[in-house]
Amino acid sequence: MEKQFKSGFIAIIGRPNVGKSTFMNQVIGQKIAIMSDKPQTTRNKIQGVLTLPDAQMIFIDTPGIHKPKHQLGDFMVKTAINTLNEVDAILFMINAEEGYGKGDQYILDRLQKVDKPVYLIVNKIDLVHPDKLLPLIDQYKDKHDFTEIIPISALQGNNVKHLLEVLKDQLAEGPQYYPEDQITDHPERFIISELIREKVLQFTKEEVPHSIAVVIENMEQRNHGKVLIQATIVTERKTQKGILIGKQGTMLKNIGKAARKDIENLLGTSVYLELWVKVKKDWRNKQSQLQEYGFSRDDY
């Protein structure tokens, strides 16, 4: 008798900075979604594919839901909300440290209109005392009819295996959508641009907020297997360009050095990375430039 194979699409939704990307990377076992201590890090839907001998789970890491302040923010929120109607299950992730907030209620109101299993995932339990968990869970229990409530630490991996088993049990029989060695639906260029953007956020702290985009201009194989990658960091103001380059180019060198390390891990080969910085004033509110940098209206 042939073994039953299960599959399904699972959305990860929640306020900014609750640990959605950290969870995705923990599950897949490789960095495909960028991580930052700044909110609204994820901009596009990023699919992470976990293939097991008897199941395939496609996780969709959505942008954090927040009140948009520009067209890019509007794109991000619509992308996250529309994902709810396209999946087989939803993980509503909250931060155990922060507890209930207005942003959660905004999401809960939208979940009322969704006829899918919704799991409440209480993340970052490693940062709170166990005595604080039960009152928090009780508070959320009354706000929605959750299929199950599962506390985890995405960073440390606590209880993540149990969550995956629960999800696999509820999945319906289905096909294997992706080859078993494929871990994301995004092309390498997208992941590489995200890894560079992560390092910009990491090194520039609050000086350069989310007004940057990274465009891969060229990517080619050179002699002895080394890969040449040429990328442009786009920002909105000249002052930000100065910060990104730094004194005698130090900041840009540091960003490039850290990004190159992650890119080499991703590609499994040596990389020569060239970075430039370009100013495009107010690009986050210009539809033509949003499309040029990969934020298309067709996505929502």
- DSSP tag of 207: S
Q: Per the annotation, does 135 bind a ligand?
A: no
Q: Per the annotation, does 63 bind a ligand?
A: yes
Q: Per the annotation, does 14 bind a ligand?
A: yes
Q: Per the annotation, does 44 bind a ligand?
A: no
Q: Per the annotation, does 62 bind a ligand?
A: yes
Closest CA to 256 of 226, 229, 222, 237: 229
Q: Per the annotation, does 158 bind a ligand?
A: no
Q: Per the annotation, does 269 bind a ligand?
A: no
Q: Per the annotation, does 7 bind a ligand?
A: no
Closest CA to 159 of 23, 55, 53, 25: 23
Residue 156 DSSP SS3:
coil
Q: Per the annotation, does 19 bind a ligand?
A: yes
Q: Per the annotation, does 61 bind a ligand?
A: yes
Helix (H) or strand (E) holding 96: none
How far, CA to CA in Å, does 28 sit from each of 57, 120, 130, 259? Answer: 10, 20, 27, 20
158 bridge partner residues? 153
Q: Per the annotation, does 15 bind a ligand?
A: yes
Rounded CA-CA distance 280/265 in Å is: 31
Q: How do beta strands 271-279 and 227-235 pair?
A: parallel
State the residue for tokens 């891990």.
265
Q: Per the annotation, does 17 bind a ligand?
A: yes
Contacts of 51 (CB under 8 A, 6+ apart): 176, 178, 180, 182
Q: Per the annotation, does 125 bind a ligand?
A: yes
Q: Per the annotation, does 65 bind a ligand?
A: yes
Rounded CA-CA distance 245/243 in Å is: 6
Rounded CA-CA distance 221/234 in Å is: 25
Q: Per the annotation, does 256 bind a ligand?
A: no
Give binding residues for GTP as ranges: 14-21, 61-65, 123-126
Give binding residues as ranges: 14-21, 61-65, 123-126
